[in-house]
Amino acid sequence: MFPDLTCDDIFRIETPRLWLRWPRASDIASITSFASLPQVAQMTAVIPHPYPPGEAERFVMKARSDNANGSALVLAIIQKANARPMAGLIGAHPAAAGDIEVGYIVAPPFWGMGLATEAVDALAGMIFGLTRTSRILANVRTNNPASRRVLEKNGFAYVDTGLDFLPARGGLHPCQRFQLDRISWAAARRAGQVKRCMPPMAHQKPDAGGNQPSLTVRHTES
């Protein structure tokens, strides 16, 4: 589903304020700190609460495995101005009929800063730029207006409201469904309604923490 470009852990996406990169073992403490909070977990389909010991380690290992085999793309959200702690997580997974579904969480200390909006914008640009999918899907719980606003700011269109199965929440819950299709995304980009510019290139540059080169897709505002 995802191209070879994303299947190496040196891959990352750069935005004006963020790095989106593979999660690492060094992120485990940060993931535990926010994923264990009820106000975070309750808005997701898959984060259990109470958060079990070792769950963050399992998550990081699975994310890296899925990234490596191209079956998903899960990235840590890191502020350039504050490399630690991580601000949240964002991911893309295959859905039916060749669609891709995105999800994201942001740690409470970073709420209201527009980081989720910036990260979703960048990930959508990467998906349409590097895959052949024609549509990106996203679901939010009906009691999560902040997440809905993130999608609306990025041009996602409301589809409907229905009961979705949320495994970690133990059953069916009302959710709002959204979609962003390639044609609408491209039209908004041309019209300047959504500021995007992702050059179709990758760069190798030294990582901020050492000598390991990083494969970077730059995503800058127009």
Q: What is the pLDDT of residue 96?
A: 92
Domain boundaries, the chain: 4-218
Q: What is the pLDDT of residue 99?
A: 98
- Pairing relation of β-strands 100-106 and 135-141? parallel
Residue pLDDT, tens place only, 128-170 = 999 999 999 999 999 999 999 999 999 999 999 999 999 999 9
Tokens 């800063």 locate to 113
Environment class of residue 45 by beta-carbon count within 10 Å: exposed (0-12), middle (13-18) or buried (19+)?
middle
Span 166-190, average pLDDT:
95
Q: What is the pLDDT of residue 165?
A: 95
CATH code of the domain occupying 4-218: 3.40.630.30
Mean pLDDT across the chain: 88
SS3 65: helix
CA distance readout (Å), 215 to 17, 41, 129:
18, 31, 16
Flag the least confident range among 111-120, 121-130, 208-217.
208-217
pLDDT over 70 for what percent of the chain? 85
In the numeric block, which tokens belong to residue 168? 């970690």
Q: What is the pLDDT of residue 128?
A: 97
SS3 174: strand
pLDDT over 90 for what percent of the chain? 82
Residues in Cβ contact with 175 at an 8 Å cutoff, skipping those fewer than 6 apart: 139, 140, 141, 142, 161, 162, 163, 164, 166
Evaluated on CA atoms 140, 143, 146, 152, the torsion sign reads positive
Q: What is the pLDDT of residue 60?
A: 98
Span 93-110, average pLDDT:
96
pTM of the model: 0.87
One-letter amino acid for residue 54 of the chain: G
Q: What is the pLDDT of residue 213?
A: 40
Helices (H), 28-114: 28-35, 38-41, 55-69
Environment class of residue 139 by beta-carbon count within 10 Å: exposed (0-12), middle (13-18) or buried (19+)?
buried
Residue pLDDT, tens place only, 25-54 = 999 999 999 999 999 999 999 999 999 999
Residue pLDDT, tens place only, 70-91 = 999 999 999 998 666 799 999 9
Q: Could you tell me where the beta strands, DSSP code E, fall in the chain? A: 11-14, 18-21, 73-79, 88-94, 100-106, 135-141, 157-166, 171-181, 203-206, 213-218
The Cα 52–Cα 6 span in angstroms is: 29
Ordered DSSP codes for 19-43? EEE---GGGHHHHHHHHTSHHHHTT
Span 83-112, average pLDDT:
93
